[in-house]
């Protein structure tokens, strides 16, 4: 029997409470909590790290200079995964299919944050 993690409850529904001082709105029972990016993008907070990309070595993977990677160490790599690996003492980003031998998995990239301003 595998020991499994207790999955997180998605607490998006709020208990209804009319806050209007005048006429209470019919929308009260449909209230939900606002979108929280932390909840949507981070699956395993204890295993999630943020890495800053320097340089343009990974533009072929659509990862650019100054991007921030959300890296999850808890996820199992899949065929389409982009991985952070260490190879001969250095960090590197590789697609699952292109991982060099003798490299060690550090984490799976889930999202790339790219500032477009």
Binding of residue 6 to another protein (CB under 8 A): yes
Q: Please, are residues 8 and 40 in contact by the beta-carbon 8 Å criterion?
A: no
State which of residues 70, 82, 84, 108 lies at the interface with another protein (CB under 8 A): 84
Contact 47, 92 (CB under 8 A): no
Binding to another protein by residue 37, rule CB under 8 A? no
What's the rounded Cα separation, in Å, for the pair 30 and 28? 5
Q: How far is the CB of 38 from another protein (least distance, A)?
A: 13
Binding-site size for another protein (CB under 8 A) equals 29
CB 81 within 8 A of CB 108: yes
Beta bridge partners of 85: 92, 105
Q: Which residues bind another protein (CB under 8 A)?
A: 1, 3, 5-6, 44-47, 49-55, 57, 68-69, 73-74, 84, 86, 89-93, 104, 106
């Amino acid at each position: 029997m595998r020991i499994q993690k207790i999955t997180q409850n998605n607490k998006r529904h709020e208990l209804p409470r009319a806050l209007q001082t005048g006429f209470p709105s019919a929308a009260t029972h449909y209230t939900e909590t606002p979108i929280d990016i932390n909840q949507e993008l981070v699956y395993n907070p204890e295993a999630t790290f943020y890495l800053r990309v320097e340089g343009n070595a990974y533009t072929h993977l659509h990862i650019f200079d100054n991007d921030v990677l959300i890296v999850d160490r808890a996820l199992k790599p899949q065929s389409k995964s982009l991985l952070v690996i260490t190879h001969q003492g250095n960090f590197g980003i590789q697609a699952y299919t292109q991982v060099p031998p003798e490299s060690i998995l550090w984490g799976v990239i889930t999202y790339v944050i790219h500032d477009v301003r």
